[in-house]
Amino acid sequence: MIPAANGINCEAYVKQITMSQKRRDKLALTQIQSAYANQWHYVASRIHDVVQSTFNKYSTTSKRQRLYMNSDIYAIDEMPLNNFSKLDEHLENKLDQCYDFAASGTFEKHYEEYYNYEKERGANYGPETLDGNSRYQYVATRVGFLPAGSLVLDYGCAHGHYTINLAKRFPDLRFLGYDIAQSNIDKAEAWADSDGVSNVSFKRAFVEGGAIEGHDENEKPALIIAAELLEHVADPVDLMDALMSIAGDGCEMVITTPYGPWEADGYNDFYPWRAHLWHFERDDLKELWGDFEDYQIVVVPSGNSQRGELVGSYICMFKAGLPREVHIDYERKLANTVGQQTVSLIMIAKDEERNLGRCIESAIDLVDEVLVGIDNRTADNTSRVLDELADNYPEVRFEHFLIEPATDTGFDVARNTVLSKANGDWILWLDADEVLSNAKGLRKYLRNSSLAGLAISQHHFSIEPAAVIQTDLPIRVFRNNQGIKFVGRVHEHPEVKMNEGVGKAIISTDVVIAHYGYTTEQVRRARFRRNFDLMKQDRIDYPDRILGKHLWIRDVAQSLQYTREAGRPITKDLWDAARESVDLWRELVDLSPRMAADVLPYYSQLVILVGDQQSLDYEFSLRAGPGVGRLNGAQATTHSGTFYNREHVRAFFDKVEHTQIEHLGSRYL
C-alpha cells in the first residue's frame, strides 16, 4: 500500500473503488433479472390482466342481460351464476316463454306460426329490391367472380330476397334457393314467376342426420350463401358441415351474421316472438371456421339500435372443406363479455293512478325493473295501474307492495324500504308527478367507472305563474349495493353518509326531469304545510344535516311570509324559529358557503324581522381572473342582502373570496 501523501488516504480510496465495482456488478445483475419484465410480451400480458380484471367486475346478471339483448341465447346457458337475483328469475321466465321452440326443437312449426303472426300484423315479405343494401352488395361482389354457368345455392333463402335479386343481376349464373318453410318457398316461386326470372328455382330443404334432405346430389354449388341464417339454427356447425358436404370443388362459403342487439329493438312490441339464438363475435367465427382455406371476415356496419348501440353484420368467407372438431371457447367469450348494467326504478306512491303511467313510461326504455312502495292508505287504483303496466311491458320486471305512510315514517325510511328490494346495478328514483326526458341518454354512463352517481336537471313547472319556477340538480341515479341510502325526513337525498353525498358524480346534461307537482300556488302551499311539520322532525332527527339547515331557514322565512299575508299574528314558536334560523345561517357560512349564498334572500327576510340596530344592508361583487390583465373575461358574482351584524358580513365575504381564489388555483377553469 502506497503511503498517504498530501493528506490523501490511499487505502480508503481503493476500498471505495472496490465497493463501487460491487455495486455496479449488483446493479447489472438486477438489470439482467428484470430484463424479462421489460419485454413487450410481458408488458402486453400485464395490460391484458388489467383489462380482464375490468371485465370481471361486471356481475353475472349484467353479463347474462348483455347476452340476452344480443340474442345470444345458447351462450346464456354457459354463463355460471354467482347469485340468482329476481332479475335473473325474470330473465329465466322470459327465456321459457320466448324460446320454447328451441328447447323443444319445433323450429319448423315455430317459423310457420311466426310468419303467420308477421302477416297478421301487416309485415309484407315479398318482392323487394336490395340495391343500396351494403351487406347484399358485398355478397354480390363475391358472386360476380364466378364463371358463367356456375350454380349458387342460397340456403335459408326465406322468400327469395337475396336469391331473386342476385338472379336478376347475374343472368348467366344459376341460382337455387332452399328454405325450411314451405310458405316461404311458395312466396319465392310466385315472385320469380311474376318477374319472369328463369335462372332460379326453389325447394323446401332441411338438415337431417348431417345431410341436406331434399337436395339433388347432382347439383354441385360453386358458391353457397348462408345469409343471416346461422343465428336461427340449433347447431350452426352441423349445418355448415352439411352444406360443405354438397359443395362443388373449390366452392366458396359465404356467411353473413348480425352483430349487436338487432332483435332487441322489438322485444317488447312483438313479445314473445323471437327468432335469433346465437350472436357470433369475430373470435367465435374464427374459432369455428378460421382454419379453413382462404378464411377472411369483413364488417358491414348498419348504424345504431334504438338504444344507441352499434349494429351491423359480419361477412365470413372460406373454401369448403372436410368437417372438423370445432367449438366456441366459452371461457374466453364469457370472460370478454361486457355486462349490460341493469337499472332499477324505485318509487313511492299514494293515490297516483293518474300520474304513474306517464312517469314510468318515460323511463321504461332504460330500466330493467320497476319497484313501487304503495302507501297503505292509498284509496285509488294505483295497484291496478301497475299491474296493467306490467302486462304492457313484459320485458321489465314489476313489483309493488304496501309500505307505511312516508308522512309517518319519514320519506327516507319509505324510500329505503323500496331501495332494499332493488336488484339492479344502478338505482333511478322518481316521483309519480315527474317525467324523465331522453331516458336513453343515461345509458352511456351505466358502465364500470369511477362515477357513483348522476345529477339530473329537475325543472319545476308552474301554471301560476306560467314558468319554470326553479331548477334543481339532485342526484337521481346512483350505484346500488355501495352503501348509499336516503337521508332526510323530507327533501331526502341519497348519501353514503350524512353530508357526504354519494361520492363522485357528474351532471347528465342531455337528460332532464320535468316536475309537475307545484303547478299552482294552492298546490304549492298545501305541499309546504305538509312538509313544514316534517322539517321540524328532520331538525330533531338530523340536527347536523347541512341541507336540513338550509331548508329550515327557507321554510321558516316562507312560513313567516304566509303568516303575514294571512294577517295572523306571529307566534312565539315561529319567532324563536326565526331567531334560531339566523344563527343557523351563520353556521351554514362555514359549512357550505354555496348553500349560504343560495338561501341568502330568506336569511335577509328573517334578519329584517328579528334584527336590531346592528343589522345592515350590504352588497358586494367579486370578479377574479387567472393571470395579469385577464379580468375582462371574468364574470362578476354579486351578493346582496340584509345581514344580522358585521361579523356575519365579514365571515360571508371571506368565504366567498376564498372560494373564488381556490377556483383560480384549479387545473380546470
Domains of the chain by start residue, with CATH: 107-335 (3.40.50.150), 341-519 (3.90.550.10), 545-669 (no CATH)
Using CA atoms, how far apart are residues 394 and 272, in angstroms rounded to an integer? 9
pLDDT in tens, 468-506: 788 999 999 999 999 999 999 999 999 999 999 999 999
Counting every residue written for the chain, the total comes to 669
Q: Where would I find the H helices in 35-143?
A: 40-56, 60-69, 73-77, 86-98, 100-104, 107-120, 134-143
Q: Name the residue with cell 328579528.
A: 610
Question: How big, in percent rounded to 5, are the helix, strand and coil portions of the chain?
Answer: 45, 20, 35
pLDDT in tens, 188-210: 999 999 999 999 999 999 999 99
Whether the Cβ atoms of residue 466 and residue 521 lie closer than 8 Å to each other: no
pLDDT in tens, 310-352: 999 999 999 999 999 999 999 999 999 999 999 999 999 999 9
Type of residue at 13: Y
Confidence of residue 528 (pLDDT cuts 50, 70, 90): confident
The closest of 565, 619, 610 to 584, measured between CA atoms, is 610
Using CA atoms, how far apart are residues 2 and 301, in angstroms rounded to an integer? 83
Q: pLDDT above 90 covers what percent of the chain?
A: 77
Confidence of residue 29 (pLDDT cuts 50, 70, 90): low
pTM of the model: 0.87
Point out the least confidently predicted range of 26-30, 361-365, 563-567. Answer: 26-30
The closest of 150, 273, 303, 284 to 230, measured between CA atoms, is 284
Confidence of residue 667 (pLDDT cuts 50, 70, 90): very low
The closest of 288, 310, 292, 136 to 225, measured between CA atoms, is 136
The phi and psi torsions of 622 (rounded to 5 degrees) equal -125, 135
Average pLDDT over residues 19-29: 65
Average pLDDT over residues 1-22: 58
